[in-house]
Amino acid sequence: MNEDKLIPVILCGGKGSRLWPLSRESFPKQYINLEEKNNRTMLQNTYERLIGLENLDKPIIICNEEHRFIAAEQIRAINIKPKTILLEPFGRGTAAAVTLAALKAIENEIDPHLLILSSDHSIKNQQNFQKSIKEGVKFSKQSKLVTFGTIPEYPEVGYGYIKTKNPIKRNAYSSEIIQFFEKPNLENAKKYLEDRHFAWNSGIFLFKASVILKEIKKYHPEIFQICKDSIKNSNLDLDFQRIDKTIFEECINLSLDVAVMEKTSRGLMISLDAGWKDIGSWNKVLDNSKKDINGNFVKGKVVSKDLQNCYVRGENRLLVCVGLKNLIIVETNDAILVIDKNQTQEVKKIVEELERKNYKEGKEHKKIFRPWGYYSSLVENSKWQVKKIVVNPNQALSLQMHNFRSEHWVVVSGRAQVEIDSKISIINENQSAYIPIKSKHRLSNPNSDPLVLIEVQSGNYISENDIVRFEDSYGRVEKGDD
C-alpha cells in the first residue's frame, strides 16, 4: 500500500449566497475570481497553492450536479486532471462528503493522506501554509486526525473556534484539542481573543483515509454505510461519478466537526500562520482586498469622491459614488447591492427573501454557463427573448427540438455550423439561420476561435424547460437546460 500519497479533497458545494449578487446558486463564489492578485478563481487557487508539496497527487473534487461542467473546466484550465469528480445529488454536510472521498481514495488498495479543503478560502502565505501541511503529515502518519487553527486577529463572530490544551503558538505549532465552539456572540468572541488557548477553526483537515473511515464508522455507522452503498451503486458519466440519489437521500446532514472531531481521541490541532480567511461575506472580501489609503477597494467603471472604508465593484454599468463611508456596493447586470459593511451577514436573509418572492435574480445570473460555453439573456418578454450565445472552440450544443418556440440565429463573430432537420450548412458573420418550431437542430463551432451569435426566441412559452434532446456530447439526453 502507498502510505505517502497526499490527495487533496476539494469541497465545492454551497451556494455562496452571502456574496450575492456576484455569487448565486447558478454560479457560486468558488468559481469566481475574488482575490485580485491573479486571474484564478477560488477553486483554481485552492489547488495551485499546494504545488510543491511532496507526494502531491491529483485531487478529488466534490461538487453538485449543476456545477459539474464549471468545476471540470476550471480544473482543466490549470492543466490538472482530477482523480474523480464526485457529484452529490444534494448536500449532506462535510461528514458525508469526506466519507465519500475516503471510500473513493482507498478503492485501489492504497491508504493515502487526505487533505480536506474548502474551495472558498484565501491563503496569503503559501510557504507557511505548506509548512503547516507538512507538519500535519507527520502526525497523520501517527493516525492522528489533524485540523488547522489560526490565532484570532480580532473578535470574529462568523467563525467557529477551537480550544487547545496548550497555549497556541505560531509557526505550525501542534496541540491537543479540548473543545470545539460554534460561532460565538461578540462578548464570547472578545474573551476568546484574549485567551491564547483559542484559535479560529479553518475547516481544513488532514488524516489517513483508513483512519477517518474507522472513526466515522465508530461514531456514525449509518453515515459510513449509506456513503458506502451510495458509492457502490454510483455510475460513471464522462469524467464524473454520480452518487446514488435514492440511497444518499437517507444520509443525515452533519459537519465533520460534529460527527467525529468533537468525539474522537485522535484529534490534534496545528497552528496555521498563513493569512487564512474564509471568504464568506462581503466584509471579509473587503478585508482581504488591496485597499487605497482611505481603506477603499474600487473595481470597474467607477467614478468616486470622498469615500472611506468602502468596497465598490461594478461589473457592467457606470457607478458614481460621492461622500460614502463603510458601504459595500456591488453592481451586476441585473441587480445592485448597497449595504453597511457591518451588516453583510444579513445578505443571506435577503437572498432567502428574494427566493420566497420568486425573484429569479436570487438564484440565477443573466449569464448562464454551459459545458459548451455560455449564454446571456439581453432582454425578454413573456413571448420572446434575446440572448447572446458564446460557443467555445470545437464545441457543440445538443441535437434538440423545441415544442413551443422558434429561434433565429445571427452570427456576429466567428463561423457557425448549423444543422436543421438533418441539413447542415455554414453561416458566417452577418449571416443568419431560422429554426422553426419542432425542427431538430444543432449549433456547432468547428473552429479554433469562439463563436458569438445573437439568438431571438419567439413563441407561446419561453423557457429553458422547452428542450427535448436527441444527442448530446455531455451526457444530457433529457429535457432541461442547455
What is the mean pLDDT, run by run of 10 residues, along the chain of 482 residues?
Answer: 83 90 92 81 95 95 90 92 92 94 90 96 94 96 96 90 92 89 93 93 96 97 96 86 93 95 94 91 91 95 96 95 97 95 93 94 88 90 94 94 96 97 96 96 96 96 90 71 46
Query: How many structural domains does the chain have?
Result: 3
Whether residue 283 is contained in a domain is answered as no
Grid cell in block for residue 371: 459545458
CATH of the domain at 189: 3.90.550.10
Same domain, residue pair 176 and 266: yes
Q: In 235-390, where does DSSP find H-type helix? A: 245-248, 256, 282-288, 347-356
User: 294 and 379 share a domain?
Assistant: no
Query: Which residues touch 126 (CB under 8 Å, ≥6 apart)?
Result: 49, 274
Question: 3-state class of 375 per DSSP?
Answer: strand
Domain end marker among 221, 247, 278:
278
- What pLDDT score was predicted for residue 171? 81
Kindly state whether residue 285 falls inside one of the protein's structural domains.
no
Question: Which of 211, 244, 278 is at the close of a domain?
Answer: 278
Residue 401: how many CA atoms within 13 Å on its side-chain side? 9
Query: What is the reported pLDDT for 65?
Result: 84
The residue from 278, 309, 328 where one domain ends is 278
Judge whether 481 lies within some domain: no
Neighbours of 235 (CB within 10 A): 9
Residues 389 and 418 in one domain: yes
Q: Which domain does 396 fall in, by range?
A: 367-471
432, burial (CB in 10 Å: exposed 0-12, middle 13-18, buried 19+): middle
Query: Do both 208 and 106 map to the same domain?
Result: yes
Domain membership flag for residue 242: yes
Q: Are residues 141 and 18 in the same domain?
A: yes
Which grid coordinates belong to 323?
Answer: 461622500
Residues 321 and 406 in one domain: no
Q: Are residues 146 and 211 in the same domain?
A: yes
49 in any annotated domain:
yes
Q: Is residue 479 part of a domain?
A: no
Has residue 403 been placed in a domain? yes
Question: For residue 60, what are the β-bridge partners?
Answer: 9, 84
Q: Would you put residue 461 in left (φ > 0), alpha (ψ -120 to 50) or beta? A: beta
Does one domain contain both 255 and 318? no
Q: Amino acid identity, residue 100? A: L
**Is residue 107 in a domain?**
yes
Residues 50 and 175 placed together within one structural domain of the fold: yes
- In sequence order, the 6+-apart residues with CB closer than 8 A to the CB of 51 are none
Q: Are residues 27 and 174 in the same domain?
A: yes
What are the φ/ψ torsions at residue 193 (nearest 5 degrees)? Answer: -65, -35
Same domain, 273 and 311: no
Q: What is the pLDDT of residue 388?
A: 96
* pTM over the 0.85 mark: yes
CATH code for position 446 = 2.60.120.10
Q: How far apart are CA 449 and CA 162, in angstroms?
A: 51
Same domain, 126 and 175: yes
